[in-house]
């Protein structure tokens, strides 16, 4: 743990406490940092924004991308007051973040009523064995669109 | 497969083609439906919105929540042109969606260059074995904030 890591993770924890106390949502905060500079901060706002995706990490990632004008945060670190849930972990991969530093973990989250540990058990299951009924249909029709993407000369990979 | 399922999934596939052709982003579309009524539609806009979380499902879920004024979409079905990636699957659980209907799958997505299958392999791994370096620190400081949440009399569970 470097002094910089401690400073930025403490900031994420402070955000989790401040925004929870202000009534924004659950007790979660996150900070995205690159080259020693804060690109963006975020806190949970699920219940006030009426947005189930408004977790601290997603909010910080979206703001950081707006700040740098790119869908990639390559080389950046995310400091988060709690281990990312699978949704946020997926977002961290898609954003090409280089490193994750966290404090509370999924068991701590489960102990205060959040579904993180449940989601970590559900997501690796085959779709047919998950709690949410899931069906596949019209595969041939959809695959034709993927073929069109593969053949699109001006596509932007991400 | 009911006629209604076919209609809404075809709409998601049509969105995937239309918005890809318009240059919004990757070939992905989604529709959220409750009681036979479309609450919202979404399409991938990662590269134009500079938002790595702007997948079709996340976009449709966020819009549907705004449309109904709630962070819960309990009882609703999401129709998506491709099997949700782990980020979007997490969002589907957090939004309390009741059912998922999809067309392309993670292998189809991998075949045209998207990381869905890779993410499904990464997310169940212990943090120390994943491709993104991950460290835990300051657990005691953060746990005190969770204790404050558990003791908060006016907290809104989600």
* pLDDT band with cut points at 50, 70 and 90 for residue B1: low
Measured distance CA(B137)–CA(A97) in Å, rounded? 18
**Structure tokens belonging to residue B144:** 């005190």
Residue B33 has pLDDT above 60, yes or no: yes
Residue A57 has pLDDT above 80, yes or no: yes
For residues B31-35, give the mean pLDDT.
98
Mutation pick from B87, B106, B118, B134 vs chain A, by most beta carbons of A within 10 Å, is B87
Residue A125 has pLDDT above 70, yes or no: yes
Measured distance CA(B145)–CA(A27) in Å, rounded? 7
* pLDDT band with cut points at 50, 70 and 90 for residue B8: very high
Q: Which residue in B72, B39, B44, B74 sits closest to B59, CA to CA?
A: B44
- pTM comes to 0.96
B30 and B15 Cβ atoms separated by less than 8 Å: yes
CB-CB under 8 Å, B145 with A27: yes
**A41 - beta bridge partners?**
A31
Residue A35 has pLDDT above 70, yes or no: yes
- Give B129→chain A minimum CA distance, Å: 13
Burial of B50 (0-12, 13-18, 19+ CB in 10 A): middle
For residues A79-83, give the mean pLDDT.
98
Mutation pick from B24, B70, B90, B132 vs chain A, by most beta carbons of A within 10 Å, is B90
* pLDDT band with cut points at 50, 70 and 90 for residue B76: very high
Alpha carbons within 13 A on the beta-carbon side of A81: 30
Tell whether B117 is within 8 A of chain A (Cβ).
Answer: no
Query: What residues contact B145, with CB distance under 8 A and at least 6 apart?
Result: A13, A16, A17, A20, A27, A81, A104
* pLDDT band with cut points at 50, 70 and 90 for residue B59: very high
Percent of chain A residues topping a pLDDT of 90: 95
Q: What is the pLDDT of residues B100-156, one digit of tens each?
A: 999 999 999 999 999 889 999 999 999 999 999 999 999 999 999 999 999 999 999
Pseudo-torsion of CA B123, A158, A5, A85, nearest 10°?
A: -30
Q: What is the pLDDT of residues B15-27, one digit of tens each?
A: 999 999 999 999 9
Q: What is the pLDDT of residues A61-78, one digit of tens each?
A: 999 999 999 999 999 999
Q: Closest residue of A to B23, CA-based?
A: A155
- Give A157→chain B minimum CA distance, Å: 8
- Give A108→chain B minimum CA distance, Å: 7
Measured distance CA(B155)–CA(A62) in Å, rounded? 26
* pLDDT band with cut points at 50, 70 and 90 for residue B2: confident
DSSP three-state, residue A123 = coil
* pLDDT band with cut points at 50, 70 and 90 for residue A1: low
Tell whether B52 is within 8 A of chain A (Cβ).
Answer: yes
């Amino acid at each position: 743990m470097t002094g910089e890591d401690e400073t930025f993770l403490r900031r994420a924890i402070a955000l989790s406490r401040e925004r929870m106390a202000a009534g924004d949502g659950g007790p979660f905060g996150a900070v995205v940092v690159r080259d020693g500079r804060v690109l963006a901060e975020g806190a949970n706002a699920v219940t006030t924004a009426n947005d189930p995706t408004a977790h601290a990490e997603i909010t910080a990632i979206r703001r950081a991308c707006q700040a740098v004008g790119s869908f990639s945060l390559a080389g950046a670190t995310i400091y988060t007051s709690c281990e990312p849930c699978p949704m946020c972990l997926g977002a961290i991969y898609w954003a090409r973040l280089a490193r994750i530093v966290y404090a509370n973990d999924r068991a701590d989250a489960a102990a205060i009523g959040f579904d993180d540990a449940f989601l970590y058990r559900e997501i690796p299951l085959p779709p047919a064995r998950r709690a949410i009924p899931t069906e596949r249909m019209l595969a041939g029709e959809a695959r034709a669109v993927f073929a069109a993407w593969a053949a699109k000369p001006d596509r932007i990979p991400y």
